Amino acid sequence: MTTDMSFVSLISQAGLIVQLVMLILVLASFVSWTFILQKSRMLKRAQKDAEKFEDLFWSGGNLRELFSSLQARAVNLLGMERIFEAGFREYSRNRSGNNSPELVVDTTHSIMRVTLSREIDRLETNLNFLATVGSTSPYVGLFGTVWGIMNSFRALADVQQATLSLVAPGIAEALVATAMGLFAAIPAVIAYNRFSGKVERLANRYENFMEEFATLIQRQVFVKDTKPVTGA
């Protein structure tokens, strides 16, 4: 009699604990791929938005007009746009209140720093999940494999003569859990490393912009000339 060694058969014939491990790994893999696709689109958009806004900011136009245009769609602002909008709003509020130049610069810089932190947190959303799946899935799969092999050898205790045909199906069922653990872990690790690099580059880009904008504000606050702030 030929034993059915197909992938579906091995899963269906596995023990309850091994099947539960497989189900957890399948769910983890599904959620990981969902986050991978979402994060890929999100970072691609953030990169394009940063390039577009930097070109607009350094084009030499009046930043008050740029601020007004951003306020019209304040709900949808992300990245550099959000940092600029928060900083310029705080700058305008402090200047209209006749505060000291030092206070204007410090509070504006603090607001932009807080906004920067929030934007970085948004970029890093779900990265911890990918890291967790990548680091733990192989061990979860290994647990299922060890449990399955242990049950296979326990079953052999009631057999007078153990043969390869008796041992092989149980071991094969157990090894499927390890394979599924690797299937869940490898894409998650690759995606995590790739996205982490992109997030770090975007974070550095945001921070550089924030410092450059803060320098413009400081220069404007401490000069006697009251001409509008520009990006030139």
Q: What are the structure tokens assigned to 107, written together?
A: 């509070």
* pLDDT recorded at residue 1: 43
Q: What are the structure tokens assigned to 16, written together?
A: 């309850």
Query: Which string of DSSP letters, residue by residue, matches 18-54?
Result: HHHHHHHHHHHHHHHHHHHHHHHHHHHHHHHHHHHHH
* pLDDT recorded at residue 227: 43
- 79 Ramachandran zone, left/alpha/beta (phi>0; psi -120 to 50): left
* pLDDT recorded at residue 226: 46
pTM listed for this prediction: 0.80
Inter-helix orientation angle 16-57/164-221, to 10°: 20
For residue 62, give the 3-state DSSP assignment: strand
* pLDDT recorded at residue 83: 92
Domain boundaries, the chain: 21-221
Quick one: which of 34, 22, 9, 12 has its CA closest to 126?
34
The pLDDT averaged over each successive group of 10 residues in the chain (232 residues) is 55 74 92 95 92 87 84 80 90 77 86 93 93 94 84 69 63 82 94 95 93 87 54 43
